[in-house]
Chain A
Amino acid sequence: MDRRESFKTMLLGSLGAGLALQSCVENTPPEVVEEAIWKYTYGRTPKEQEFDEKLLCEEFFEEDELQQIETLANLILPPTEAGSIADANVVPFIEFMAKDVPEFQTKIKGGLVWLDIYCNAKYQLTFRSCTEEQQKQVLDMIAWPDPEAKEHPHEVAFFSLMRNLVLTGYFTSEVGIKELGYKGNTPNNWDGVPQDVLDDHGLSYDPEWLAKCVDPNTRGEIAQWDEEGNLIS
């Protein structure tokens, strides 16, 4: 069975003759759906996978809304050499989260419309057709929440939500994780804080404590104890 066929079998197998899926497979180019689904290969229960496939097939935003999100995302985090919104797949991520977290839906859709209404009143243009300078003037108004306030005006709350989704979308992507400098998620041998870091922080290991710790050289040897519970191997 080739990949395309096995994909179809998997999809149809998990969803049965679900109408959502049929329309999804018919209306979306198969290679697009295939790519979207094969990309995600971590362990899920059949029920979870079925749910994800359903979400991946649904379209929640219109094309122009997605473009507006893209514009906004690029203002929040303009591209650098380290990585961009496009590299980090931030827009598809936001689109997915809007389907996954129903509370986001009205907030995002409504916020996007509000942006256009506001720009139309002020500049007689949609948000996307404004100049970057005009767009930033709008953002300057809504991007600085009062950190002490318990409640925020809707447009400020909307922007904070978008900023959160953009930032988390970026820093959970391959380029974002690289830029952040996270070094783990790989087989490793933890042997304490590096000496230069200890020095920078004016800290050191207590020798008595270290005596209770793992010796990386003998950790592959099978543990044995004396009767008192002292490790002797």
Chain B
Amino acid sequence: MQIIESQKSYDVIIVGSGAGGGMATKVLADAGLKVAVVEAGPFFDPADEKTRTQLKWPYESPRRGAGTQRDFGEFDMAYGGWEIEGEPYNQIGDSKFDWFRSIMLGGRTNHWGRISLRFGPKDFKGKDKDGLGDNWPIGYEDVKPYYDKVDKLIGVFGSNEKRENDPDGFFLPAPKPRLHELYYIKGAKKSNVDVIPSRLSILTKRINNERGVCFYCRQCNRSCSVYADFSSGSCLIFPAQKNGGQVDLYVNSMVSEVTIDDNGKATGVNYINKEDRKQYSLKAKVVILAASACSSARILLNSKSEKFPNGLGNSSGLIGKYLHDSTGTDRMFFIPEMMHRKRYNEDGVGGLHVYSPWWLDNKKLDFPRGYHIEVWGGMGMPGYSTGFNPNYLNKYLGEKVGGYGNGLREDVKKFYGSVMGVSGRGESIAMKDNYCEIDPTTVDEWGIPVLRFNYHWTDHERKQARHMHDTFEEICHNMGGIVLGDKPTKEQDYGLLNPGRIIHEVGTTRMGSDPKTSVVNEFEQLHDVKNVFVVDAGPFVSQADKNPTWTILALAWRTSDYIIEELKKQNL
């Protein structure tokens, strides 16, 4: 197939338009650079009426919101899912890594939980704490100025709590807790589990005249049409364009490889246009990968040449290695005191109003690293599955389960809003043996070799999950609640979800000072190729018990500043 070369050339090509790609676009376009954003999925604007699902009712859909088309329900704003037709991935042996992709402008930022946590000082130096994994080559003090700037640019609500490892920031005011959250606070405090206002990138207060303020519909996962939550398109890419930035969007354009010249310097990318299935090439001075940790690793590993036979930037052999996701396990509680609730609108923001940051000292525990607890529940909008097993909870009240007739109406109304849940989300240890690599036996429908995964949890994570369930049960008991379902056993890995399930996969192009033991330097620049950068979660040395997005954004900004300086010095 002949490669069609674009006549245009750019200062920077950015592959992917999620959190990292969006931030790089904003900072570099604002600095006057000519930017091409190459996105594998379609254009998406949360304000577009044609694609809007926000404020739609379940009966506006023939399947009432069921998740048969989109994994998190058909109103969820992620085009993609755990499995994507025509774009497979494989496993090695009995590995079970689940890979979630959202292939659209803005990527996963269109539907995510908006939980926006800074890493703390200890999170950058995990090895100092317990000898496991590696330290980052940078510390909190290097990233803090960027976290501050991200807070102010994008907006995040929360509260300054003066906690050592959950740093303060520039927060918007928090929404008041809902009823089940007040129950949770009471139960958690009895067990000395800390609870503080959650930290979500949702505008509870105006931050500029371009974006709206949250009107409390609890549907951030549908992407906000007034831009009151953070999505990469609405908060970074469109503002960069409106600011007069030279930003060309190439959508439905799937990058297959980074191209290089005879000196081993990157010259641009090749991509497949999904509409005409032809291959194109784009040229630029700098290439930034932001396709997601695994997709960026895939592009680098597929960029083979005589000079780089193992893939671009892979002299260490570490691209794809040290893949790690957050640990996670969940439990549901039935709170009998919350039966027969008075009705009122308690939608609130799209997610939790309170959470428990990690509160313990590992020296007294049989596992390393911590976890936080997320809380969910309330009188939410009915959707597909509302009314399933309508009176199952009767068994805890000594009443009969099952039947038919109008008593079922009363059962559904009686129990509405009386079940809540908690989710533990923790830090796993990055392991060289957990990795993704190119599967030479399989290509996707665009002819590009796909990834295969090898990932196994260790006892570190299993013991952490066991501790989560012990904690959940104690808190539930304190709340006067009944824990639903049996406690997961050792054979069930204590309920630990498959790796990948928490959708915090990081670590595949790890950062470090030594080119032998890392892929990028502290500015997310490939050790081997000076004009290629990775600004998604690939460079994370460790994951922390925090969600990765705020750190992706802060580091992408820091890297973009570095790129601007290096271009000025003509070093790239």
Residues of A whose CB lies within 8 Å of any CB of B are 39-45, 48, 51-52, 55-56, 75-78, 80, 82, 89, 92-93, 96-97, 100-101, 139, 143-145, 147, 160, 163-164, 167-174, 176-177, 179-194, 196-198, 200-201, 203, 205, 209-210, 212-215, 218-223, 225, 228-231
**Residues of B contacting A93 in the complex (Cβ-Cβ under 8 angstroms):** 62-64
Instruction: Give the Cβ gap from A231 to chain B, nearest Cβ, in Å.
Output: 7
The contact of A214 among B176, B341, B416, by CB within 8 Å, is: B176
Number of B residues, CB within 8 Å of A: 93
Cβ-defined contact, A229 with B387, below 8 A? no
- B68–A101 CB distance below 8 A: yes
- A173 CA to B178 CA, complexed, in Å: 26
Of the residues B68, B79, B207, B401, contact of A147 by C-beta under 8 Å: B401
Q: Give chain B residues whose Cβ lies under 8 Å from the Cβ of A184.
A: 217-218, 345-347, 379-381
B300-357 residues at the A interface, CB under 8 angstroms: 337-338, 341-349
Chain B: which residue is nearest A80 at the CB level?
B406
Distance in angstroms between the alpha carbons of A42 and B59 in the assembled complex: 10
Please tell me if the beta carbons of B182 and A193 are within 8 angstroms of each other in the complex.
Answer: yes
How many Å lie between the Cα of A225 and that of B151 in the bound state?
Answer: 11
The SS class assigned to the B binding surface is: loop
- The 8 Å CB contact of B176, one of A40, A143, A163, A210, is A210
- Give the CA-CA distance A213 to B196 in the complex, in Å: 11
Q: State the B residues within 8 Å of A (CB).
A: 42, 48, 50-53, 55-66, 68-69, 74-75, 79, 152, 155, 157, 159-160, 168-179, 182-183, 186, 197, 204-209, 213, 215-219, 337-338, 341-349, 379-390, 392, 395, 400-406, 408-409, 412-413, 416
Majority SS of interface residues in chain A? loop
Are A181 and B413 also in contact (CB < 8 A) when A168-B388, A188-B216 are? Answer: yes
Contacts of B381 in A (CB 8 A): 177, 182, 184-185
Which residue of chain A is the closest to B42 with respect to CB atoms? A45
Is B64 within 8 A of A219, CB to CB? Answer: no
Distance in angstroms from A179 CB to nearest chain B CB is 7
For residue B68, which residue of chain A has the nearest CB?
A: A100
Whether B389 contacts A172 by the Cβ 8 Å rule is no
Q: Whole-angstrom distance between the alpha carbons of A139 and B402 in the complex?
A: 11
21 inter-chain pairs at a CB distance below 8 angstroms, sorted by A residue, are: A43-B53, A52-B62, A76-B405, A78-B405, A100-B66, A144-B402, A163-B402, A170-B387, A180-B416, A181-B343, A182-B381, A187-B217, A190-B175, A193-B182, A194-B342, A194-B344, A197-B344, A201-B182, A205-B176, A214-B173, A223-B172
Given contacts A56-B62, A193-B176, contact A186 B345 (CB under 8 A): yes
Considering the complex, give the chain A residue whose CB is closest to the CB of B208: A222
The contact of A213 among B79, B174, B208, B383, by CB within 8 Å, is B174
**Total contacts A-B at CB 8 Å:** 259
How far is it, in angstroms, between the C-alpha of A190 and the C-alpha of B204 when the chains are bound? Answer: 10
Known: A144-B403, A171-B386. A43 touches B52 (CB 8 A): yes
When C-beta atoms are compared, the residue in chain A nearest to B50 turns out to be A43
Q: How far is the CB of B520 from chain A (nearest CB, A)?
A: 30
Structural contact, B404 and A169, CB atoms closer than 8 A: no
Q: Which of B55, B62, B218, B408 contacts A163 (CB 8 A)?
A: B408
Q: How far does the alpha carbon of A43 sit from the alpha carbon of B45 in the complex, in Å?
A: 12
> Are A42 and B61 in contact (CB-based, < 8 A)?
yes
Which of B170, B342, B388 is the one whose CB lies under 8 Å from A200?
B342
- Are A180 and B176 in contact (CB-based, < 8 A)? no
A171–B409 alpha-carbon span in the complex (Å): 9
Residues of B within 8 A of A230 (CB): 160
Specify which of B159, B205, B386 is in contact with A172 (CB 8 Å cutoff): B386
Q: How far is the CB of A164 from chain B (nearest CB, A)?
A: 4
Instruction: List 3 A-B pairs, minimum CB-CB distance, nearest first.
Output: A167-B387, A192-B176, A43-B51
Using CB atoms, name the residue of chain A closest to B152.
A225
Which residues of chain B come closer than 8 Å to A193, judged between CB atoms?
176-179, 182, 344, 346
Given the known inter-chain contacts A40-B62, A45-B79, A210-B176, please indicate yes or no for A219 contacting B206, CB distance below 8 A: yes
Q: What residue of chain B has the Cβ atom nearest to residue A206's Cβ?
A: B185
Q: Assuming A183-B345, A187-B215, is B386 touching A42 (CB within 8 A)?
A: no
Q: Is the CB of B217 within 8 A of A186?
A: yes
> Are B342's CB and A77's CB within 8 A?
no
In-complex Cβ contact of A197 among B342, B347, B348 (8 A):
B342
Cα A162 to Cα B381 with chains together (Å): 22
A41, A212, A221 pick with most chain B CB within 10 angstroms: A212
Contacts A42-B56, A219-B213 known; 5 new A-B pairs at CB < 8 A: A75-B404, A78-B406, A177-B58, A229-B170, A231-B172
